[in-house]
Structures are given as C-alpha cells and as structure tokens.
Structure 1
C-alpha cells in the first residue's frame, strides 16, 4: 500500500529534482512514492534518471507538448498519485519519507485527520549565498490539533502575521488526504489549482474544507532556495522583478485581484494578499476586520529589508498603496521601523524554542544533505508513537 505520494514538479532544473529524489530513494521505506512532474524543454535528463534508478517508488510524468504554467503542471499531478496522502515540494527542496511514519501514527490516533503539516526549516543553496547565513529550526516535538476557527483567523484575517499569514495547512510542504483534494476540486471550479500562487491558494482552500488539521512542531522538510528559484527573488529585487515578468508571461498577466491597488512587485505581503483577495472575489467571500492585520504585515514586509534606501522606497510604495486603498485612516496604522543593525552580530544559539546556527555548518551542499544534518539534532521520528503512548 502506498501511504504517501511526494510530488516534485520541475522545469529546467532537473539536477535539483534528481538530487532530492536520489536521497529520498535511499530510504528503506516502501510505503511512499515519488512522482516527478517534468515541465522541462528537454525530457531526456529525467527520463534517463528514472530509467537508471529502476525503482518502482519513482515515477515520471513527461513534459506536455507545450510548456505549462506552474499551476497547470501541478494540476496534472494528483490524478496520477497512488498515495492516500499527497504532498508537493519544489525541486530545490527536500522532504523526509519518514513523513509516512508521522502520518501513520497521526491517523491511528486521529482517523479523521485530513490535513497535516510540520515545522519549517530553510536552506539557501551555496551558490546562492552572498554572505554568511544564519538559519533556525524549531526544537519542539508536540503534535497538535489546530482549531479551524484559529486557522481561519490566521489565514484570512492575518492574525499573528509578520509579513505573511502564519498558516501552513496546504499541499505545499504539507500533506493532504487524497479525498480532501478531490473535495477541493469538486467544490472549487473542478480544479485543484487555479491561481499562479498555487501554494497559498491551496492553503485558502484547505482551511475552508479540511475536517481535521494536525500540526507537528518538528520539521520534516526543507524549503530550498537555489539561484533559479522564485524564492531567490525575495533576496534580490532585480531577480524578483524578473521572476514576476516570467510568471506574468506564463499567465497572460492574470495575477492580481480586482480593485486592490498593491502591486505584487512590492513584496511577499502584497503577493500573498492578492492571492487571498482573488480567492475571496472568485468565490463571493466577504470578510470585515482583516484590514489592520494586513497593514501590520505590510509593515513587517518593509522591516525585513536590510538596506536603508530600499527600506525607505518600499515603505513609501506600500504607504501609497495603503492610502489609495484605505485612506488616511488606514495609513495611520502603517508604521514600519528600520531595524537592521550591521554592527550587531546575528544571534546564534537557543531562544524561544528555536535553535539558530550558521547555515554552512557541516558543509551541506544540497537541501537533502542539510536535512540529514539537522535530522540528527531533532526529536527522532521513530519515537513519536511511543511518546504519544506515554502521554
């Protein structure tokens, strides 16, 4: 029985996808599979790789006749998944097949669970780093049921958001039961994924329809950032603009919600907000009282900037958009503060249930190697069931 399908959609970054798959296949588990969704110009590299691996746990969807948009490449994956649960990661990411054990233990305790996610960890591939990088991982290992009302407040009301909603229950670096994914498709326009920002769209739909959401504090995957990834645009404004132009071309410019004057080029907060507003407009969802949380997130987006000139420009651009959207009353709630201090070393050590350390530790060269490193620092997945039985 296949418990989990790990989907890796990729376009012209075959070497990253192969690295992730190769490390996953080193697992002795036989209850997961990997489905590569190739959207590349050259089908040969991944076809050759799958043939060479000769492993029944690895399957390939070859490229379509014409290149697909990201959401269309994602869209074709679920019907081919054999797993009871489905997860999607980027080709420069990594996911531990031991997620199967966490899902097994969780559903044994909570049979109605249909959405599962975990703590976050991040890795910038060495070729993308321009300076020393300090990263952090959560150290907790509690398994928790998350209240749907709380998740709605986090996602749609921006409660507790820093620069984006603090809700991660979607298919991207999360796992959804296949029957939940089918309910999402049948409820929302007969598609699994509609918007170019497919990961946040998935969160919107999951929060609306999931019966039981379970969160494990321990990281089970790594968000990777390679030089060619969209997330690299968050680190370099010029790269970010180039990535946005590419997505616009793929989707004929259809990225923004209507009458929402926040250019997505402003940053991650504006981009996610357009996805949420698009979803609300598309399905006639009207909400009040979310505006203050969103404005605070806009300020948080500004405060992530380390260059003072860029901070001032970003602050002015957000302020202009907020004024056009909500008037002077809204502007009064917008008060970002430049916080970067080059004279203060970045913190390393343990604080607030997180461990901060140099990302170059262990000389990890890929997201998979990095995960193998931090895996030894965290609560062993194999002990989850015994811990719950003790509790």
Structure 2
C-alpha cells in the first residue's frame, strides 16, 4: 500500500453476518492497493465473523475489529472504526450496502484540482435485498455528469432549514456514503466530546458536525454507492409503527438510554416513534442545543411540511394514519399550534398498487431493482454503471457553485 491510503472504507456491523460477509467480498474483489478497509463486528456470536475473516487474513488492506466481551452501542462501534482508519479520506457504509472502491480516483482528481477539498459526496442508488421486497420497487439513477463545489453556507442553510420540505433534509454532507477528510474528522474529535461519534443517530450527527467544521465541499451527481436494505435493517422497519417501537426498544436497551428522555427533548416534543423525519430533527435539535448554535430562521414551517410529506412513506394506510395523528397532536401543542397549518399530509398511495415507472424523467433513469436478476447491491451497481457516464469522463466544475440535488 501507499504510505497513507487515499481512502478508508469503514463497515461496522451487528448480527447481520450474511450481508456483512457479502459486502466484504464485494469490496475486496477490487484489488487496488490505495484503499484501506476497517471491518468492525459487534455481534452476539463473535465466532461467525472471526471464522470468516480468516479467509482474508494477511490482506494488508484490511483491519478487522472483532466483537468484544460486551455489546457495544452503535456509537462506540462506529467510533472505533474511525479511530482505526488511517486513510486521507474516510467513508462509512452499512453492512448491507456497497460503495465503488474506485471513487478513490474521483477523490484524487478532485483533491488535485481543489487541494482544500474537505468533503466529497455523491448520488446514491437504493436496493432492497431479496427477502425485503413487500412490493415491486424501482431504482433511480442520476444522469448528472458534473462534479461541483458547494458553498458551506448553502449546505448548512439547506440542511438545518429543511428547505423544500422533503422528508429528509437536503445537503447530507457527511461520511455516511460520502468521504470526509481525516483532518476534518480529527477536528471534530477535538472540538466535540473528544470522540468522532457521540450521538446515537450517528450518520446525521456526523452531518451536523461536518457542516460546521469542513470548509470546502464537493458534490458529484453520478452515483458511486448503493444504500442497501435487508430484512434486518433499520430502514426496512421505519415504515410501520409497530416495528419502529420494536427497534426503539432494542436501540434503547443497547444504547443504555432512551434518547426521547434526554434533557434537550423537553422543549422538542417529537418522539422517535413518529418516524425518520422526527429522528433527524431530534439530532439537529440536540446538536444546536448542546453546542450553542442558533436555529435557522423559518425552519419550523419547513419542518412541519417535511413531516406532512413523510407520512405518505409509511407502509400501510393504517401506519400513515397513525403517523398523521401523532404529528398533528404534537403540532397542535408545539409553540401554541403556530405551525400546525404547515403540517399538510399528502394523500397516501399504497405502494403495493401504486404506479410503477421505468424510463427517464427529470435527468434520472428509473429501473426495476430486479433488472438483470441482480441479487446484491454490488451486482446492481455494476449493472447500472454500464448505463452511466464513466467516472473518468465526469466533468470537474469545482469553480462553479452548486446546490446538490
């Protein structure tokens, strides 16, 4: 390997060994030597991954962090992954995800043209693993061929203001399916809590901290990774109220506390069971409160709109109705009901009977996620990549400011 790898890819895992093993195989299939891997197991039965990792013993690119004598909270498993990383940039993915190792070339090209670059993020694909497909789904692949600079002020404003009212805020500049320089991560550790990862919702916590620490951010419109969703993943369980409550109970037990009872939640009455939008806003509120940053003007109305849009993403009409009822009850009391008028849930469309679209629309290519018989995120990525511009042909527009899609 080089004296310092250009990129470290961290993959923390807990009790999802078959997916973890497939992800490891997919990553290591690329033989380039300027990428480091940190695989951190945190499972109840350590022997499964310990035995598997013997197959890759001796690969100089791999650092394996085995399970310890206790179950680690997610934040600790992620934190030790970053602690072990030595790459110039760090990327974090889930154990059922995939990232193109060759994104290191784009990092290198972009960094050469803009040496001050701190963060590079890219468009992503989505994939439901076989066994987690309650209905037919499509995959959207961005056809954007540009690589752009994004002013930090723009990224900060969009994320914390909930501009546009989408269920998840725009400008997700962080290490989860992105690449953040180790220099910035070390600054975060020094500045916030003496840890790389501090809050239990680790991916969005990192976004908050990157947006106030990094200086030069770059966005690539082309996809370079796949957000996988297996039957055991959190993303597979956030669309039904009962599963959300079950996951919260597990999360509370393993974290050692219920984050809904944290002191900062006293003036932010949006509990975790309401869903992902509420959880993200919790992280933002925790971060702003703990570290003394001011909220963005007007964020409350945009957040209320986001909550209304998020309800339609629930799995069933019943779960949709529960989410609406829960949000409406909170908004009716929060700030004296001032923002209730901005909470306008859209009509629920049953995903099992909704329109299924393939083709090109709004600079995106929509495909059946079962296209070509793909069985893993890596297979999907390599199939879709054949239809997209090659990474080498991407246009670097780093002197052109841009708002990420």
Map of 1:68 onto structure 2: 72
The within-5 A match list for 1:123-142 is 123-142=127-146
Q: Residue 327 of structure 1 aligns with which residue? A: 336
Q: 1:12 and 1:343, CA in 2 relative to 1: closer, same or farther beyond 3 A?
A: closer
Any gaps of 5 or more consecutive residues in structure 2? 401-405
TM-score, normalization by structure 1 = 0.95
**Contact persistence 2:165–2:306 (CA under 8 A):** yes
Q: Find the aligned partners of 1:384 and 1:332 in 2 and give their Cα distance.
A: 44
* Residues 31-68 of structure 1, C-alpha deviations (whole Å, 9 max, x = no match): 10211011112222322333212422222011122110
Counterpart of 1:274 (choices 279, 282, 286) is 282
Distance 2:215 2:60 in 1: 32
- 2:386 aligns to what? 376
**Unaligned runs of at least 5 residues, structure 1:** none
Question: SS at 1:350's partner residue?
Answer: strand
User: Taking structure 1 as reference, are residues 292 and 157 closer, same or farther at Cα in structure 2, changes over 3 Å only?
Assistant: same
> Aligned with 2:394: secondary structure?
helix
Q: Which of 259, 265, 268 is the aligned partner of 2:273? A: 265
The match for 2:24 is 21
The alpha carbon displacement at 1:261 in A equals 0.9
In the alignment, does 2:152 pair up with 1:143? no
Does 375-384 or 164-173 show the bigger shift? 375-384
Q: Which string of whole-angstrom CA distances, capped at 9 and with x for unpartnered residues, describes residues 234-264 of structure 1?
A: 2333222211111111223342342211111
Evaluate the alpha carbon distance shift between residue 343 and residue 16 of structure 1 in structure 2; reply closer, same or farther with a 3 A threshold: closer
Count matched residues.
389
Given that 2:317 and 2:348 are in contact with CA atoms closer than 8 Å, whether structure 1 keeps it comes out as: no
Change beyond 3 A, Cα 1:42–1:117: same
Contact 1:302 1:314 in 2 (8 A): yes
Counterpart of 2:360?
350
The alignment partner of 1:127 has SS state of: coil
User: RMSD of aligned C-alpha atoms?
Assistant: 1.9
Change (3 A) 1:261 1:350: same
* Contact kept? 1:21, 1:34, Cα under 8 Å: no
Taking structure 2 as the reference length, what is the TM-score of the superposition?
0.92
Kindly indicate whether residue 307 of structure 2 is the aligned counterpart of residue 304 of structure 1.
no
In structure 1, the residue matched to 2:106 is 102
Matched with 1:158 is: 162
Decide whether the 8 Å contact of 1:105 with 1:384 is kept in 2. Answer: no
1:33-72 matches, cutoff 5 A: 33-54=36-57, 55-72=59-76
Which is worse superposed, 208-217 or 129-138? 129-138
